[in-house]
Structure 1
């Protein structure tokens, strides 16, 4: 069907398609298998209505609501009871705040929040930690690799009485099987080399999608000239026929997965490179921006107005969502009100600039350096696209995961069928004395 220049161009496209396949097929099989494994865990969690405390759900939502020094929502908040709709929250704040100040003994308060605990409202104030029994100070690790994260004072905001003190330690995260699979997916065990491999493999997959698509449309155009314009046809055996059909059906979704995955890999390479350069210029020392204490001391005089502004902003943006948690803080230089609202797995975190009463994102001017090229928010959006959240139907988050799981199956089949077709062609060439691994 193809002649002259068209035939030569087709041979070149197929040559590059085969060459890239040989270089990256092992990585593509790894991506397909581990990606399917994670999608399977996520889909199972959604279908079984797994609680927010389920390890797979924790891993799935990891970092989605911001870096460690920004995120407020916790797994327990998804099932928490909401604050009473008719409660005078400003009065509760003004009643509980002096008690918290007295307990803090002159230390700065990093945040104040209102939430339900054990069916009753509580005001919780976080005082900047100084020392934990045994002499462990903020930032200093003990023998168990733990450090003081929060020094919390629980107050009854209705009666204005002190309830208890709670010291929270910040240790190593618990082992999570989904995160283990995620580490295999992105070759995290190879450390810096993993980022390089992931970027190159992602670019290779994009190249294969482009060359494969061009080959398909050149064949389709040639067939249309012969009045055979069907988009799917049988030719060259079932391996080749299905390879062609599956690739056409999945091409767009695979392109989205490859592009978003390559961008995420580039972010990883950018961050690792930036950190290494920083260490070289600072004697091997490095402080991770998203893990630093970004708080500033709270002003009692400003807090009632901050709470009023937060409630007004919440009513304007999510009026129908029951409020579970309200936290007031300074994040870097911005006065913020953070609201956790909603029901069950639909619970969400909303962050507002109390000066403007407008929502803010995880990337704003003045925030601590995230070391990501386009900021923390873009990183999370890319992750959502990569796993299929953009395809979620109303009320059905799992739908996007199902589509991308099918795309993962398609990628696995394309890898295996591509290897089978390559081996068959190579074997025929070897039998005729042409044993080279690549050919045009």
Structure 2
């Protein structure tokens, strides 16, 4: 009988174990997670310190917190000096104030076309302020085109007074602002002040944190199921390895907080990365408005705002044409500051991502991006959420340190027996 070779099937490769994925990824990404946790916790400590000590919105920390809240460029009617400005008198006749302002402006700047018109308080008096293009005005780094200057006039007398800077509010240089940039991997010391490629690192860090959370929870529930079969149903337990016991307990207690922080942070990284491939130069802004349009826009904005908030003090009201839409803008003299933008033609309140505006580079619009950003910091939901956000950051710091320490201990134990590979199954 001829000899026939026996066909033997090749042994199937064992799938990569969850424990291996968790261990290897933690060894690779542990320092990055530690960095994210430290910078994020430091930001939360600064924010909580500013809030609990009653820091005004004009402080550098609070200006950094509010960055982007009211839109970019001239979409924001909140200007550099507005955080502590006084409220307009409740009985101000806005129609007469606009008439007086425009008459004085035509006399002071004959032939000059206004970019926008606003009523506000400057040095304790109600003034009408008119902005207009001026190549010699201080440039605004957040917008394209010719800079704007402004002339201001007392609404009672028409006399010219000192104008307020019309550039949109933008946070000054501060430790908190630098921390925010460092946290996102695009501050000084990384890639300059550009967001590329830092936002890609931010996205990868978020994905890595997600994988660590998911694999850690899978391992925990598998172990919990095994213990319950042995009649040991406790959710928390200790072993002779103190670091492992603490690491497991902290990860379970902080799991929900870390999931929320990881979800929002990863989403911000995704949206910011998406935006780098969908940037476009917006069309030129509409920097021209007539006196009649200014009267209509201011009257409409005040009417719509008062119908919703009858007693809320108003810091300023502005009339403008924004990308073809006649709008009235109301900024409140409240803490926190509110900005309400009304479309005069439709009588509706606008959002940052109105379909009437140029498309946003973010996949779901600027409004959603700002909501997620302030949810990520906890600021959207108030003081309790900010404390929980700090707890999540401190938990991430501890889990990074304890995870790295356990890995080093395991590697040293393996190395003592001649197995010196940095990674193993």
Q: TM-score, normalised by structure 2?
A: 0.87
- C-alpha deviation, 1:348, in angstroms: 1.5
**Residues 280-429 of structure 1 mapped to structure 2, 5 A cutoff:** 287=281, 289=282, 294-343=285-334, 345-392=335-382, 398-429=383-414
- Which moves more between the two structures, 293-302 or 28-37? 293-302
Whose helix fraction is larger, Structure 1's or Structure 2's? 1
Q: Please name the residue that 1:258 is paired with.
A: 262
Cα deviations across residues 130-149 of structure 1 (Å, max 9, x unaligned)? x43xxx79799xxxxxx973
- C-alpha deviation, 1:167, in angstroms: 7.6
The answer as to whether partners of 1:137 and 1:148 remain within 8 angstroms in 2 is no
Asked whether 1:24 is paired with 2:29, we answer: yes
Q: Please name the residue that 1:281 is paired with.
A: none
Q: 1:20 to 1:138 in 2, by over 3 A?
A: closer
* 1:246 aligned to which of 235, 250, 260: 250
Q: Please name the residue that 1:232 is paired with.
A: 236
The answer as to whether partners of 2:40 and 2:393 remain within 8 angstroms in 1 is yes
Q: Please name the residue that 2:151 is paired with.
A: 153
Q: Please name the residue that 2:179 is paired with.
A: 181
Q: Please name the residue that 2:6 is paired with.
A: none
The answer as to whether partners of 1:334 and 1:353 remain within 8 angstroms in 2 is yes
Q: 1:137 to 1:160 in 2, by over 3 A?
A: closer
Asked whether 1:435 is paired with 2:420, we answer: yes
Q: Please name the residue that 1:283 is paired with.
A: none
The answer as to whether partners of 2:57 and 2:336 remain within 8 angstroms in 1 is no
Q: 1:295 to 1:399 in 2, by over 3 A?
A: farther
Q: Please name the residue that 1:116 is paired with.
A: 121
Matches of 1:363 and 1:154, distance apart in 2 = 31
Matches of 2:67 and 2:226, distance apart in 1 = 49
Cα deviations across residues 158-196 of structure 1 (Å, max 9, x unaligned)? 2233335678789x9743222222222122123533222
Matches of 1:58 and 1:209, distance apart in 2 = 33
Matches of 1:41 and 1:75, distance apart in 2 = 22
Cα deviations across residues 370-412 of structure 1 (Å, max 9, x unaligned)? 42232221221121111112442xxxxx332211111100000
Q: 1:138 to 1:183 in 2, by over 3 A?
A: closer
Matches of 2:173 and 2:336, distance apart in 1 = 26
Q: Look up the SS of the partner of 2:131 in the other structure.
A: strand
Q: How many residues align?
A: 404
The answer as to whether partners of 2:80 and 2:165 remain within 8 angstroms in 1 is no
- C-alpha deviation, 1:119, in angstroms: 1.5
Q: 1:34 to 1:57 in 2, by over 3 A?
A: same
- C-alpha deviation, 1:430, in angstroms: 2.1
* 2:225 aligned to which of 210, 215, 221: 221
Q: Please name the residue that 1:162 is paired with.
A: 160
- Which moves more between the two structures, 105-114 or 184-193? 184-193
* 1:95 aligned to which of 94, 100, 115: 100
- Which moves more between the two structures, 332-341 or 260-269? 260-269
Residue ranges of structure 1 left out of the alignment (5+ in a row): 1-7, 141-146, 279-286, 393-397
- C-alpha deviation, 1:328, in angstroms: 0.9
Superposition CA RMSD, Å: 2.8
- Which moves more between the two structures, 294-303 or 321-330? 294-303
Q: Please name the residue that 1:12 is paired with.
A: 17
Matches of 1:351 and 1:105, distance apart in 2 = 30
The answer as to whether partners of 1:295 and 1:331 remain within 8 angstroms in 2 is yes
Q: Look up the SS of the partner of 1:256 in the other structure.
A: helix
Matches of 2:59 and 2:138, distance apart in 1 = 32
Bigger radius of gyration among the two: 2
- Which moves more between the two structures, 184-193 or 306-315? 184-193
Q: TM-score, normalised by structure 1?
A: 0.84
- C-alpha deviation, 1:341, in angstroms: 0.9
